[in-house]
Structure 1
Amino acid sequence: MKKIYLYGNWKMNMLPEEGEAFCRSLADRITGSLYGSDLVDICLFPPFLTVPSVLKALPGSPVSAGAQDGYFEDRGAYTGAVSMDMVRSAGCTHVLAGHSERRHIFGETDEIVAKKLRKALDVGLKAVLCFGETLEERESGKTIQVVQNQLLSAFQSVPGEHAQDLILAYEPVWAIGTGKNASPDDAQEVCAFAAKLASGTFGGQSRIPVLYGGSVKDSNAGELLSRPDIHGALVGGASLKVDSFLAIYENYRKLSAG
């Protein structure tokens, strides 16, 4: 079986005590099990104020913690912002960049996403670059062009030596939090395109993983993760409960073993 990236984006959910309880339960479930192997990479992305509680509950487990966002300046008068080195100093190993909600609710442009991505990689974080099209763009047949533009804009900011710390996450905007998701074939097509574009940009040895995000749950995860160019899932709502989160990977394993 291939290595699977199981990443949970909690968005604006989970108070510190809730996050700590979740992680203690998660740690109990995966300690000494297959989750400690090289076959799965688990990372949680809590709200900023919940990060310390999550980290407190994770020592000794194979689970990493990441931030949902970070700014591209080191210091300054940027009220409400958190710098990438603050993210790293807090104990996070990963950070999201360009999530569709940051792009479409908070107005982040491709240029801003590229700056955040570069800064994250410069300070030593693993960066999850999110990309994806709107429903209007998909229905107009513009999916590949939109994805290509988003990725190439971001790739231009990434030095070749940092490519090993880059992870891609295809998140069609119309599938985020809607209960809808791309068909396994559609998701595979876009993820394969992204993987090929990354390989062409950074060299064939870079092997940058591509995840799928967009209403991923245990009932559809097996088929999605079984596609050759989908290396994992960036999970939203289903990552808020331990059972539904782990069921995503467990259902994939059952399908692969069968």
Structure 2
Amino acid sequence: MSRKPIIAGNWKMNLTHLEGIALVQNLSYHLTQDDYDATDVAVIPPFTSLRSIQTLIEGDRLAIRLGAQSCHHEPSGAYTGEIAAPMLAALACEFVLAGHSERRALFGEDDGVVNSKIKAILGAEMTPILCVGETLEERDADQVEAVISSQVTGSLAGIAAEDVAGMVIAYEPVWAIGTGRTALASDANDGCGVVRRTVAELHGQDTADAVRVQYGGSVKPGNVAELMSQPEIDGALVGGASLTADDFAVIARFKRL
């Protein structure tokens, strides 16, 4: 099955809305319709930039897709400081991250919390990007497959096969995020393969063949082509390199390298 690659830039807690506008404008100058036809390109700014980026994308009729970094599992309520999925949908967000390792480690979000967020994202008719991956300690203990399988299984509990098929799952080994240390292309492919095999065990091979699996972890212009040449890798979830339009454009145009 042919799966359209997806390159998404997670800005994390970086860039003001004005800096974000400038980045997206610059990025758009580098990309052509042929690039968008070949690859889904998305930016995932902080909440404070979403409306500004939405207005830019819609006003300039850009083919860049918009995503958000998290959401609360409830659609509304007394949750000061939180953002509900329907609010993001109203800003034309198409993607929302769920289960990023920083949310798991720093904010205590376990698979149950991630699962509730995925259901909320789907309920608001957006696409979840589920993030999974092992720590260095788990890798050294030869627990990579067990950790990935457990996170995928727990996070997708009760999610219908047709919804899983339309999702994106990002394999991000924690030890390679923001460290400058990248998994070997073969290791990245193996991790993405575990994701796909787990989905097949849960929902069958057709669903596994349909779901897009990204790799994330210090993806840069210099390594994206090798990573994307791997058969199980359908895209990249990019961190630091997405904060520079020139670098992110090179990554987004990996097929033309």
TM over 0.5: yes
User: Aligned residue pairs: how many?
Assistant: 252
Report how far residue 46 of structure 1 moved: 0.2
Report how far residue 2 of structure 1 moved: 6.3
CA contact (8 A) 1:216 1:235 kept: yes
Report how far residue 64 of structure 1 moved: 0.7
Match of 1:12 in 2: 13
Match of 2:57 in 1: 58
Q: In structure 2, what is the Cα distance between the partners aligned to 1:230 and 1:155?
A: 20
Residue type matched to 1:236 in 2?
G
Which whole-Å deviations, capped at 9, do the CAs of 1:77-129 have from their partners, x for residues lacking one?
11111111111112211100000000011111111011101111121011000
Cα–Cα, structure 1 residues 251 and 63, in superposed 2: closer, same or farther, change >3 Å? Answer: closer
Match of 1:157 in 2: 158
CA RMSD of aligned residues (A): 1.4
1:68-79 paired onto structure 2 within 5 Å? 68-79=69-80
Higher RCO structure (Cα 8 Å, ≥6 apart): 2
CA contact (8 A) 1:121 1:165 kept: no
Give the 3-state SS of the residue equivalent to 1:105 in structure 2: helix
Q: Identity over aligned residues, as a percent?
A: 39
Give the 3-state SS of the residue equivalent to 1:178 in structure 2: coil
CA contact (8 A) 1:224 1:230 kept: yes
Q: In structure 2, what is the Cα distance between the partners aligned to 1:145 and 1:127?
A: 22
Residue type matched to 2:48 in 1?
L
Match of 2:149 in 1: 148
* Candidates 221, 227, 232, aligned match of 1:229: 232
Report how far residue 35 of structure 1 moved: 1.7
Which whole-Å deviations, capped at 9, do the CAs of 1:146-194 have from their partners, x for residues lacking one?
1111000012131223123311000111111110111111111110111
1:186-225 paired onto structure 2 within 5 Å? 186-206=187-207, 207-225=210-228
- The question of 1:99 aligning with 2:100 is answered yes
Residue type matched to 1:233 in 2?
A
Q: In structure 1, what is the Cα distance between the partners aligned to 2:114 and 2:99?
A: 5
Cα–Cα, structure 1 residues 89 and 2, in superposed 2: closer, same or farther, change >3 Å? Answer: closer
CA contact (8 A) 1:75 1:83 kept: yes
Stretches of structure 2 lacking an aligned partner (at least 5 in a row): none
Stretches of structure 1 lacking an aligned partner (at least 5 in a row): none
Give the 3-state SS of the residue equivalent to 2:233 in structure 1: coil
Report how far residue 34 of structure 1 moved: 1.7
CA contact (8 A) 1:20 1:56 kept: no
- The question of 1:48 aligning with 2:51 is answered no
